[in-house]
Amino acid sequence: MDFFTTLQAVVNGVLTGALYALVGMGMALIFGVMRIVNFAHGTFMMLGMYATYVLFVQAHVVPYYSFPLVALGMYGLGYLIYMALLRPIHGQSDFMQILLTLGIGLAITDAIQLVFGADYHQINFPLLEKNLHLGSHITVNAPWVVSFGIALVTGGGLYFFVMHTMSGRAARAIAQNRYAAPLMGIHLHRVQAFWFGLGVSAAAVAGSLLLPVFYLYPGVGDQFTLKAFVIVVLGGMESIVGAAMAGVLLGVVESLTSLYWGNEWALAVDFAIFLLVLSLRPSGIFGRQKA
């Protein structure tokens, strides 16, 4: 295979990877601030896809305009789920939290299946037909370019918010020393609910952006929970920059794997990377090594 075919695969991988990055950043945020591996993460992304789908079918709003509304709604849902379900088990074993987030994911997936059925859905609008040519060899589908741009802005905004606002500082304070945080006047549960909501809405935005180029069905989120988990482990568990880089890397590796070995190998490669990272460098590739 020639150079340009490979380059094309890398470009495609980066475009997909940007969405993975957004999903992963959300999970890394949630893990960093509250030490919860959110096994419902892909489910929230799926919910974002359905919300976007309904807005498209019922109100004819394309995802690139409806995603802020979806993000807001999903933020609210995340906040409520934290306060109603996660807060009461605060301080209990990891096992409880795993069971609870798994349970939340299953319940939501079943509810969606009940309402929308198990059928596959797809949306269509004119932009999907458009292609952009970069030079004479590289072609990219327009919706991917738009989603890449939105993911970049959203991810960048999230990073800025975490690093340069008092709210982000409070989140990092909890992540770094949860004993000292209340002594600063930080209301642990309020801050955690806020960031859980934000993490959930990051996943939902990725869902909105993915809808135009993907199939929609109730179980679509499951593979993304796995990917998000791989990304977060690769990125060093709580580093959102690490997660962003790991997301793009995963996108590129999957794309190259599909090109050289075939589509069916992509998921196997996810697992392989995951096991490799866990055994070689438990704190992740991009994460800081902690004592």
Partner 1 sequence: MSETLLALESVEAGYGDFQALFGVTLEVPEGAVISLIGANGAGKTTTLRVISGLLRPKSGTIRFRGEDISRVKAHEMVERGISHVPEGRQLFPHMSVEENLALGAYVPRTRPRLKKLIAEQFALFPKLAERRSQIAGTLSGGEQQMVAIARGLMAQPSLLLLDEPSLGLAPKVVDEVFEKIREVARTGVTVLIVEQNVVDGLSISDAGYVVENGAVVLSGSSKELMANEQVRAAYLGL
Q: List residues binding partner 1 (CB under 8 A).
A: 166, 169-170, 172-173, 176-177, 179-180, 182-188, 288
Name the burial class of residue 11, with classes exposed (0-12), middle (13-18) and buried (19+) by CB atoms within 10 angstroms of its CB: middle
Instruction: Output the smallest distance, CB 187 to partner 1, in A.
Output: 5
| Max intra-chain CA distance, the chain | 60
Instruction: Output the smallest distance, CB 282 to partner 1, in A.
Output: 18
Entry field: residues in the chain: 291
Instruction: Output the smallest distance, CB 188 to partner 1, in A.
Output: 7
Residue partners of 68: CB distance under 8 A and separation at least 6 = none
Output 169 or 281, the one with its CB closest to partner 1. 169
Output 137 or 288, the one with its CB closest to partner 1. 288
Instruction: Output the smallest distance, CB 165 to partner 1, in A.
Output: 11
Output 238 or 270, the one with its CB closest to partner 1. 238
Instruction: Output the smallest distance, CB 195 to partner 1, in A.
Output: 15
Output 176 or 223, the one with its CB closest to partner 1. 176
Residue partners of 237: CB distance under 8 A and separation at least 6 = 28, 31, 32, 283, 284, 287
Output 3 or 179, the one with its CB closest to partner 1. 179
Q: Which two tokens stand for residue 282?
A: 């438990």
Give the three-class secondary structure for 105: helix
Q: Which two tokens stand for residue 277?
A: 């990272």
Instruction: Please give the single-letter amino acid code of residue 48.
Output: G
Output 114 or 184, the one with its CB closest to partner 1. 184
Output 108 or 186, the one with its CB closest to partner 1. 186
Residue partners of 234: CB distance under 8 A and separation at least 6 = 242, 243, 246, 249, 250, 273, 274, 277, 284, 285, 286
Output 191 or 231, the one with its CB closest to partner 1. 191
CA distance linking residue 41 with residue 101, whole number of Å: 8
Q: Which two tokens stand for residue 99?
A: 């069971």
Instruction: Output the smallest distance, CB 175 to partner 1, in A.
Output: 9
Cβ atoms of residues 51 and 110 within 8 Å = no
Instruction: Output the smallest distance, CB 135 to partner 1, in A.
Output: 43
Q: Which two tokens stand for residue 22?
A: 């957004």
Instruction: Output the smallest distance, CB 173 to partner 1, in A.
Output: 5
Cβ atoms of residues 20 and 248 within 8 Å = yes
